[in-house]
C-alpha cells in the first residue's frame, strides 16, 4: 500500500507564529486554560499535530527546560503532491454539490487507488486549491455506547431511515440498515422504493444468505415487528420463528445507538457520493452501496473498537465467540421469503394468481397457497407452506414495479 504524508515543518510554524507564542499557547494547555483544539485552530494546523507537539513540550517541562523550549526541526517529510489521477478524483468529489466530506474522500482514495491518506491532508490540499468545503454545522453528540454483545450473531440491530438520498429535489426513500452488535460489521445496507413487508423479506434474506443466521434482531415497536395482540406474532415474527430468530424490542430510538449512528454515517456520505457519480436510480445505487459497505467493513478503523469491523468479526470467530448458524437446507427457503395467503378456486374454475386470474381444470373448490415474491413474481403451490415438498402449480414472472405490501 502506498503511503502519502503532508507534515508542516516546525521551522515554518515558528516563522509564522514565533516559538514564544507557540510555547505560550502550549503552556496554557498545560495549565488547563485552553484545549489542544483551540491551539490547533489558532495556529491553523491539525489537532493531532498539536497533540504531538504538546507531548514534546511536556517532556521538556519534565526535564526542567520548558521555559526555554523551542520548536526545533520536525525531521518529517515535506509536502509531496499526490498523483495526477488522485488529484483528479479529489477535484471531482470535493467539487460535487453537495461535496464529499474529507474523511469520505480519504476512504474513496484508498478504495479506488490503494492510497492511504489522512483527511487533514486532503483539507490542506483543498485549501491550497480553493475548493475547501464550507464550514459544516456540528451535530448533536451521538449516544455513547453503553453495552455490547460478546458474540458475533448474538444481536443484530435493524432499523430503517428515510432520507432524500438523490438530492433535495427528490422524494425520500427508505434505507434499510442492519449491524452486528459485537463486531460492528454492517451486515446489510440497501435502498428500497418504500418500507413494506416485501422489502423487509428481501433485505433479511440477502443478509442471512451472506452472513448466516443470528439469534436475535434488535428492533423498535413498529407494527412489522410488534403485534398489538398479546402472545401473537406478526408476519415477520412468524417467518423468523421458523428459522429460530426472535425479536428484542428497544424501548427508545436512542437505545439502538449503533444502528442510529450508522444512519448518520450513510446520510453524511451517500447524497454527496450520488451527486458526484450522477446516480439517481435505486438499483444502480445499491450496487455502489454494497461496494462502500464492504470497503468500510474491511478497511476503515472503527473508533470504539479500534480495529476494522471485519477484523473484530474474524477475531471473535477465532476466539469461538460466535453463535451464527448456517441457513437451513430446505426446499422451502425460497418460499419462506414471500407473502403467502390461501386462495380458493371459484365457481367459474378460476383462481387468483398475481394481478389476474387463471383457469384450473378439475379443481373446483380446492385451496392453494399463493406466494408473492420480492422480485415481482408469483407462485401457486398445491400444498401448505412447510408440509412435504413445495408442489408448484403455476408461476408468473414479473418485475419490481409495485411494492404495495
Query: Higher model confidence: residue 76 or residue 137?
Result: 137
**Checking phi first, is residue 179 left (phi over 0); if not, alpha (psi -120 to 50) or beta?**
beta
Beta carbons within 10 angstroms of residue 217's beta carbon:
20
What is the pLDDT, as a whole number, of residue 292?
Answer: 95
Mean pLDDT of 105-112: 88
Does 232 reside within a domain? yes
Examine the domain organization and report whether 191 and 268 are in the same domain: yes
Between 91-105, 132-146, 182-196, 365-379, the lowest mean confidence (pLDDT) is in: 132-146
Q: Are residues 211 and 161 in the same domain?
A: yes
Lowest pLDDT segment from 14-28, 261-275, 354-368: 14-28
Between 15 and 54, the higher pLDDT residue: 54
pTM given for the model: 0.74
Average pLDDT in the 372-380 region? 93
Q: Do 183 and 311 lie in a common domain? A: yes
Alpha-carbon span 307 to 301, nearest angstrom: 5
Please write the tens of the pLDDT for every residue from 324-364: 999 999 999 999 999 999 999 888 889 999 889 999 888 88
Residue 17's Cα: distance from chain center in Å? Answer: 42
Mean pLDDT of all residues in 371-384? 93
pLDDT at 186 over 70: yes
Task: Give mean pLDDT, residues 96-103.
Answer: 84
Residues 269 and 224 both lie in one domain: yes
**Per-residue confidence at 318, pLDDT binned at 50, 70, 90?**
very high
DSSP string for residues in 29-89: HHTTSS-HHHHHHHHTS-HHHHHHHHHHHHHHHHTT-GGG-------S----PPPHHHHHH
How large a percentage of the chain has pLDDT more than 90? Answer: 49
In this prediction, residue 206 has a pLDDT band, given cuts at 50, 70 and 90, of very high
User: Which comes out higher in pLDDT, residue 61 or 12?
Assistant: 61
Examine the fold and report which residue of 40, 68, 96 is the final residue of a domain before the chain moves on: 68
- Which residue's entry shows cell 414495479? 401
Is the alpha carbon torsion for 316, 320, 324, 325 positive or negative? positive
269, 243: one domain: yes
Question: Do residues 89 and 49 share a domain?
Answer: no
Q: How far apart are CA 199 and CA 351, in angstroms?
A: 26
Residue 7's pLDDT band, with cuts at 50, 70 and 90, is very low
What phi and psi values does residue 351 have, to the nearest 5 degrees? -145, 150
Instruction: Tell me the mean pLDDT in the region 29-47.
Output: 84
Please give the average per-residue pLDDT across 67-93, as a whole number.
Answer: 73
Residue 140 lies in a domain: no
User: Do 370 and 299 share a domain, yes or no?
Assistant: no
pLDDT of residue 401: 54
Question: Alpha helix locations (H) across 212-256?
Answer: 235-242
Return the closest-CA partner of residue 107 out of 272, 263, 258: 272
Say whether pLDDT at 403 is over 60: no
* Together in a domain, 286 and 373: no
> What are 205's strand-pairing partners?
none
Residue bearing the bigger pLDDT, 161 or 49: 161
Question: What does the pLDDT read at residue 307?
Answer: 92
Give the distance, in angstroms, between the CA of residue 373 and the centroid of all CA atoms in the same chain. Answer: 26
pLDDT > 70? residue 65: yes
Indicate if the pLDDT at residue 83 is higher than 80.
yes
> When comparing pLDDT for 315 and 86, which is higher?
315
**Mean pLDDT score of the chain, rounded to an integer?**
86
Pairing label, strands 339-344, 246-249: unpaired
Q: For residue 61, which of 37, 27, 12 has the smallest C-alpha distance? A: 27
| Residue at 206 is within a domain | yes
- Examine the pLDDT at 75 and tell me if it is beyond 60: no
Q: Looking at 99-241, which runs of residues are DSSP E strands? A: 115-116, 156-163, 173-180, 186-191, 216-219
Residue 148 lies in a domain: no
- Is the distance from CB of 152 to CB of 324 less than 8 angstroms? yes
Percentage of the chain exceeding pLDDT 70: 88
Question: Is the pLDDT score of 85 beyond 80?
Answer: yes
Backbone angles phi, psi at 142, to 5 degrees: -70, 160
343 within some domain: yes
Q: Are residues 172 and 290 in the same domain?
A: yes
Binned at pLDDT 50, 70 and 90, residue 8 comes out as: very low
Is 347 among the domain residues? yes
Is the residue at 74 inside a domain?
A: no
Residues 6+ apart with CB under 8 A from 103: 119
Nearest alpha-carbon partner for 207 in 238, 185, 234: 185
Q: What are the residues whose beta carbons fall under 8 Å from the beta carbon of 143, sequence distance 6 or more?
A: 254, 257, 260, 261
The pLDDT value recorded for residue 151 is 93
Pick from 181, 149, 323: which is nearest to 260 by CA?
Answer: 181
Is 149 inside a domain boundary?
Answer: no
The pLDDT of residue 11 is 61
Within 10 Å of residue 264's Cβ, how many Cβ atoms? 12
Mean pLDDT in residue range 296-301: 93
How much is the average pLDDT of 50-55?
Answer: 84
Distance CA 111, CA 237 (A): 38
Q: Count the Cβ atoms, other than its own, within 10 Å of residue 199.
A: 22
Q: Give the pLDDT confidence score for residue 239 in this predicted structure.
A: 96
Q: Is the peptide bond before 330 cis (omega within 30 degrees of 0)?
A: no
Q: Which residues pair with 368 in a beta bridge?
A: 343
Q: Of the ranges 138-142, 199-203, 250-254, 297-301, which one carries the lowest mean pLDDT score?
A: 138-142
Both 220 and 356 in a single domain?
no
**Which among 223, 175, 218, 162 is positioned nearest to 197, based on CA atoms?**
223
Do 193 and 288 have their domain in common?
A: yes
User: What percent helix, strand, coil does the chain show, rounded to 5?
Assistant: 40, 15, 45
Banded model confidence at residue 6, pLDDT cuts 50, 70, 90: very low
Number of structural domains in the chain = 4
Distance CA 32, CA 45 (A): 20
Mean per-residue pLDDT for 220-247? 92
Rg (CA), the chain: 28
392: β partners: 381
Expressed as residue numbers, the domain containing 367 is 337-396
Amino acid at each position: 500500500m502506498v503511503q502519502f504524508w503532508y507534515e508542516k515543518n516546525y521551522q515554518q510554524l515558528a516563522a509564522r507564529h514565533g516559538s514564544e507564542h507557540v510555547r505560550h499557547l502550549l503552556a496554557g494547555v498545560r495549565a488547563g486554560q485552553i484545549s489542544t483544539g483551540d491551539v490547533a485552530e489558532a495556529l491553523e494546523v491539525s489537532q493531532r499535530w498539536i497533540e504531538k507537539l504538546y507531548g514534546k513540550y511536556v517532556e521538556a517541562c519534565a526535564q526542567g527546560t520548558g521555559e526555554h523550549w523551542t520548536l526545533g526541526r520536525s525531521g518529517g517529510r515535506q509536502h509531496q503532491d499526490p498523483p495526477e489521477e488522485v488529484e483528479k478524483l479529489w477535484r471531482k468529489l470535493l467539487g460535487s454539490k453537495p461535496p464529499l466530506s474529507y474523511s469520505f474522500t480519504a476512504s474513496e482514495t484508498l478504495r479506488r487507488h490503494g492510497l492511504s491518506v489522512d483527511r487533514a491532508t486532503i483539507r490542506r490540499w483543498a485549501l491550497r486549491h480553493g475548493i475547501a468545503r464550507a464550514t459544516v454545522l456540528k451535530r448533536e453528540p451521538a449516544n455513547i455506547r453503553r453495552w455490547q454483545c460478546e458474540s458475533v450473531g448474538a444481536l443484530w440491530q435493524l432499523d430503517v431511515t428515510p432520507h432524500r438520498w438523490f438530492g433535495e429535489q427528490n422524494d425520500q426513500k427508505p434505507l434499510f440498515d442492519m449491524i452486528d452488535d459485537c463486531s460492528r460489521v454492517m451486515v446489510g445496507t440497501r435502498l428500497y422504493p418504500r418500507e413494506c413487508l416485501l422489502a423487509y423479506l428481501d433485505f433479511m434474506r440477502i443478509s442471512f444468505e451472506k452472513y448466516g443466521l443470528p439469534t436475535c434482531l434488535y428492533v423498535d415497536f413498529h407494527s412489522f415487528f410488534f403485534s398489538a395482540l398479546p402472545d401473537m406474532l406478526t408476519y415477520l415474527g412468524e417467518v423468523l420463528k421458523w428459522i429460530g430468530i426472535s425479536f428484542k424490542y428497544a424501548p427508545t430510538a436512542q437505545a439502538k445507538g449503533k444502528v442510529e449512528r450508522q444512519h448518520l454515517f450513510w446520510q453524511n456520505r451517500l447524497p454527496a457520493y450520488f451527486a458526484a457519480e450522477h446516480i439517481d436510480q435505486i438499483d444502480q445505487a445499491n450496487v455502489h452501496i454494497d461496494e462502500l459497505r464492504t470497503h468500510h467493513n474491511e478497511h476503515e478503523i472503527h473508533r470504539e473498537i479500534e480495529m476494522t469491523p471485519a477484523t473484530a468479526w474474524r477475531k471473535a470467530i477465532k476466539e469461538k465467540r460466535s453463535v451464527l448458524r448456517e441457513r437451513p437446507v430446505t426446499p422451502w427457503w425460497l418460499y419462506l421469503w414471500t407473502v403467502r395467503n390461501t386462495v380458493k378456486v371459484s365457481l367459474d374454475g378460476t383462481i387468483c394468481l398475481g394481478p389476474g386470474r387463471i383457469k384450473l381444470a378439475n379443481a373446483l373448490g380446492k385451496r392453494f397457497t399463493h406466494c408473492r415474491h420480492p422480485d415481482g413474481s408469483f407462485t401457486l403451490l398445491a400444498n401448505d407452506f412447510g408440509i412435504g415438498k413445495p408442489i408448484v402449480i403455476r408461476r408468473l414472472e414479473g418485475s419490481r414495479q409495485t411494492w404495495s405490501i
